[in-house]
Structure 1
Amino acid sequence: MNKALFLDKDGTLIPDIPYNVDPAQITLNVETIEGLQTLSANGYKLIVVSNQSGIARGYFSVEDFQPVIRKIRDLFKEQDLELTAFYFCPHHPEGTVEGFSIQCDCRKPQPGMLLQAAAEHDIDLTKSWMIGDILNDVEAGNRAGCKTVLIDNGNETEWIAGPYRVPTYTCKTINQAAGFIEQYV
């Protein structure tokens, strides 16, 4: 079985620009590349899992979001990284777009995207990590059975406690997370 790094997109992997679908505004966050390269070389599959409520809210469509995925794949390739998969949840219970304004099991903090990725890519969740910048990311990873990293960069503003909301490790960058993950195993 494979092991994976599940990566939140906005605020973790790339700068958080709310509801952005302009590929020209997408760059990798500083201090991510070296860590991703190290962990990829150590056998981790790189998988993005991202809530995209802008689709349910009618701000952009699934089709509008596809260039964002392509841009992130291209940025990975430029750094000799392979993006194994990209999953996104288009739902939000308060959305306005029919079919997307639902309660689902894929919207983080639910673990649906991680569970789907594990099934489709033969991933051992107990050997995998979820890295995100808010506690909903941590909760999704913990619920799926992963170890978790909170990138504490100021994006978590609610700090709602709960049994699944305690990260295995907290740090400022993916590069720092990589150093911890390498030593953890």
Structure 2
Amino acid sequence: MPIIILGRDGIINDNPDHFVKSADQWQPLPGSIKALAALSAAGYQLVIATNQSGLALGQFDLDDLEAIHAKMRAKVEDAGGEITAIFYCPHGPEDNCRCRKPLAGLLDAIEAEFDTSLHNCYLVGDKLTDLYLALEKGCKPVLVKTGAGEQTLQHLIAQPEPRLATTSVFADLAHFSDFILPQ
């Protein structure tokens, strides 16, 4: 089954104040849960790859993060889909770890876990770090205009990056889902 890699904050859910700190605060973006369920039902394995520096910065703890992920998984399951796996970087920007996007450590871990190459799979994000990560591993970069996506798009228009010229841009996760799923 093909894999789709997705960021979390700003792609699947709202991202208030740069950190979602609790399950109560986690709110899906309009259409995102239905889109995930449709992608899953069509046979895609949905794998979340997310930087969660709020752990390192003390904004929330591991129990909070697990509760957020449990809520997200439950919403997708209630809609008839499944999130196959969630990989996260718990480090802060100054920790110089290999798993913090745009470095490829999270994707390396996904490839090892699933014993596969992510080359040519879709990677959906809202930030340049997501798009550069896609390039790093030979994935197809997809930019959604939710979260920081509109700012990222404006940056790319003002300062074109030739390596990102083939990036697909969609209004949101629902529009991406509509694009890749047969009608």
Normalised by the size of structure 2, how large is the TM-score?
0.84
Q: CA RMSD in A?
A: 2.2
Correspondence for 2:103: 110
Please say if residues 21 and 59 of structure 2, whose CA atoms lie closer than 8 Å, have aligned partners that are also in contact: no
Q: Secondary structure at the match of 1:60?
A: coil
Please say if residues 150 and 167 of structure 1, whose CA atoms lie closer than 8 Å, have aligned partners that are also in contact: no
Correspondence for 1:126: 119
Give, in angstroms, the shift of residue 140 of structure 1. Answer: 1.1
Matched, 1:173 2:166: no
Please say if residues 118 and 137 of structure 2, whose CA atoms lie closer than 8 Å, have aligned partners that are also in contact: yes
Correspondence for 1:14: 13
How far apart, CA to CA, are the structure 1 residues paired with 2:102 and 2:42? 27
Counterparts in 2 of 1:123 and 1:45: CA distance versus 1, 3 Å: farther
Q: Secondary structure at the match of 1:149?
A: strand
Give, in angstroms, the shift of residue 154 of structure 1. Answer: 5.8
- Residue type at the aligned position of 1:130: L
Counterparts in 2 of 1:161 and 1:105: CA distance versus 1, 3 Å: farther
Give, in angstroms, the shift of residue 39 of structure 1. Answer: 2.2
Please say if residues 49 and 88 of structure 2, whose CA atoms lie closer than 8 Å, have aligned partners that are also in contact: yes
Q: Which runs of 5 or more structure 1 residues have no equivalent in the other structure? A: 95-101
Q: Secondary structure at the match of 1:108?
A: coil
Query: Is 61-70 or 155-164 further displaced after alignment?
Result: 155-164
- Residue type at the aligned position of 1:85: A
Correspondence for 1:98: none
- Residue type at the aligned position of 1:118: E
Give, in angstroms, the shift of residue 81 of structure 1. Answer: 1.1
Counterparts in 2 of 1:123 and 1:27: CA distance versus 1, 3 Å: farther
Matched, 1:54 2:47: no
Counterparts in 2 of 1:111 and 1:165: CA distance versus 1, 3 Å: farther
Correspondence for 2:63: 63
Give, in angstroms, the shift of residue 8 of structure 1. Answer: 0.8
Please say if residues 3 and 123 of structure 1, whose CA atoms lie closer than 8 Å, have aligned partners that are also in contact: no
Please say if residues 5 and 47 of structure 2, whose CA atoms lie closer than 8 Å, have aligned partners that are also in contact: yes
Matched positions, count: 175
Normalised by the size of structure 1, how large is the TM-score?
0.83
Counterparts in 2 of 1:154 and 1:28: CA distance versus 1, 3 Å: closer
- Residue type at the aligned position of 1:106: C
Deviation digits for residues 113-138 of structure 1 (CA, Å, limit 9, x no counterpart)? 12211220234413421111111111
Counterparts in 2 of 1:61 and 1:9: CA distance versus 1, 3 Å: same
How far apart, CA to CA, are the structure 2 residues paired with 1:86 and 1:70? 10
Correspondence for 1:80: 80
